[in-house]
Structure 1
Amino acid sequence: MTTHSKPLVALSADPTGGTLGLSLPAGSLVSETGDGPWREPLLWMADGAAMPGAWARCQPVGDAVGLRPVLLQDESGIGEWWGGGLDPGMVSDPGDHHAEDVLRDLWESAVSDAEEDQDEEDAAEAIAPFTRRWPGLASAGGAPADPDATAGDVADGLIGPWLESPRLALVPVGRSADLPAAIGWSGPVHYESDVARLCAVLRSWEDRFGARVVALSHARLDVSVAVPPQSPDEALAVAAEHFAFCPDNVLQGYESILLYAEQALLGNAHWTFWWD
């Protein structure tokens, strides 16, 4: 999956983005790192750390010209992962996958891994009240807040407390959910080698819950949610999807899907995922 973008070509000639209606800080283009002579530019990225408000300022104009904002976070000891870890040629198209099929496959794999790592009773407690059988998709939420306004608020809240010095990036992509695949992000590679399958799930969350991809780190994904679950039952149904999507969220942080639903999801407009 290779990204082609006239807006990025325009930014190479006009780094401030003035011709596109943008007013950007100093920055540069980042190209893909896979084998081959094409070396397509994948995104524009600011040279310095983002300040609160940066995501929201770029979103309206960026959407109009086909560029979507995202915060990219470097991590101590990792190095600038985007300098050698973006290869969309290794990724399929999110449209080739169906969210529920992906989640069913991942659920079965996650439950099997939990049973291998723990005794049968502990594994059963971790996924209770669910069983080994995939429970199905959670229902869509109610009337959403503005998804992009929510994303801007979540982005501002990430800068500092959660992400020490993220950089603002602009990616040519049709919808937020496809952003990880569009740049060939490999954060969950030890769990899922084709991030486009996870993007299919993100598309479903975008449709059902007003989700937006807000930030990417070496192995972390931050998502804003305009329609977070508002009842324990709603949170539990979403938690099952999160367990399939990223088991480490549950097993390394909350020990059970039930606790994760209660403590991490209920009314929370910010979902974060981290793969070990």
Structure 2
Amino acid sequence: MHVDRLPDGLPRRLPDGLPPGRLVAGSSPGLWMSDEPVVAPGRLWARCQAQQHETGWLPLLMAWPCANGLGHDPAEIEDVDVEASLHESWSSYHEARSLCPPHPTVDGIWPEDPEDMAPLLVDPGPPFSAWPGLAAPADPHPGPSPEAVARAAVGQMLHYFTTRFIAHVALVRADRTADLPALAGWEADAPALELSALLRTWEDRFGARVIGFEGSSVFVSVASPPLTSQHAAHVALEHVLTGASNLNDGTFPFPDYAEALRGERLWSFWWD
């Protein structure tokens, strides 16, 4: 049994069966990281997940170490007004579309190559002329629980990792997986605080769980994704308004991306 002391001086029992690793010095509320990549990391992730309610340590896979433990306080996540934040992002996005029709790139610069322009020119964008508010919650899908869906999604996620079947295992002292980007001190250009606040609502509305990082990419399992085209378009707008580079670079027309969300149980986002 592993026992470490967090910055508050209280002993916290880490999950059983961990490989060699360390509690990151100065981390708050607490970040533990394996010293080396783990073979078959999904199995270890699942064992840690099974113990998370007892230990308070939530597992997180990382293709390589990309968190320093110097994250936000949970109270800061609580203070974020998600609806207001997305509304502000919508205003900026809508203005950019009107200034650079028919679709803005992340930095507002249009490609010079006509072939690169083609996807942008045919993208009608989201089917909203005004801010529609947050998407409605999905009806809970029959079948596996969000935790079981997360376990299944871990295997799918590892196929996307450039490291494939090895990864570092990290543990974060947290109450919910939505808080992991903000609390872990994730070293990415993502707006981690606002993202964690939005992820909290995705947990509640769609059974979402944060399961891993690959550098500036985050992977999220989804137990109850949207099923209809209309609902998927509304959810896709929230994805776009995170500012994620893979959703704002013009690679995929908005309707295509929205349709791909129907029934999709693994969401991913990355930031340059």
Q: TM-score, normalised by structure 1?
A: 0.77
Cα distance in 2 between the residues matched to 1:186 and 1:157: 23
Pairing partner for 1:44 from 32, 40, 44: 32
Corresponding pairs, count: 243
* Structure 1 residue 181 corresponds to structure 2 residue 182: yes
Report which of the two has the higher share of strand: 2
* Structure 1 residue 159 corresponds to structure 2 residue 158: yes
Pairing partner for 1:251 from 248, 258, 261: 248
- Matched letter for residue 17 of structure 2: S
What is the CA distance between 1:90 and its match in structure 2?
Answer: 9.1
Contact 2:24-2:69 at 8 Å conserved across structures: no
SS of 1:245's equivalent? coil
What is the CA distance between 1:250 and its match in structure 2?
Answer: 2.4
Task: List per-residue Cα deviations over 1:241-265 (Å, max 9, x = no partner).
Answer: 10111342323264332111112x1
What is the CA distance between 1:47 and its match in structure 2?
Answer: 2.3
Contact 1:187-1:217 at 8 Å conserved across structures: no
- Matched letter for residue 174 of structure 1: D
**1:141-156 alignment to 2 at 5 Å?**
141-144=138-141, 145-156=144-155
**1:1-276 alignment to 2 at 5 Å?**
8-9=4-5, 22-32=16-26, 40=28, 42-50=30-38, 51=40, 52-74=42-64, 80-82=65-67, 85-88=68-71, 93-115=76-98, 119-122=100-103, 125-131=123-129, 133-144=130-141, 145-164=144-163, 165-189=166-190, 192=191, 195-252=192-249, 254-263=251-260, 265-276=261-272
Root-mean-square deviation (CA), in Å? 2.8
Contact 2:221-2:266 at 8 Å conserved across structures: yes
Cα distance in 2 between the residues matched to 1:175 and 1:89: 14
Contact 1:8-1:43 at 8 Å conserved across structures: no
What is the CA distance between 1:73 and its match in structure 2?
Answer: 2.1
SS of 2:201's equivalent? helix
Contact 2:244-2:269 at 8 Å conserved across structures: no
Report which of the two has the higher share of helix: 1
Cα distance in 1 between the residues matched to 2:176 and 2:216: 21
What is the CA distance between 1:97 and its match in structure 2?
Answer: 1.1
Q: TM-score, normalised by structure 2?
A: 0.78
Cα distance in 1 between the residues matched to 2:4 and 2:89: 35
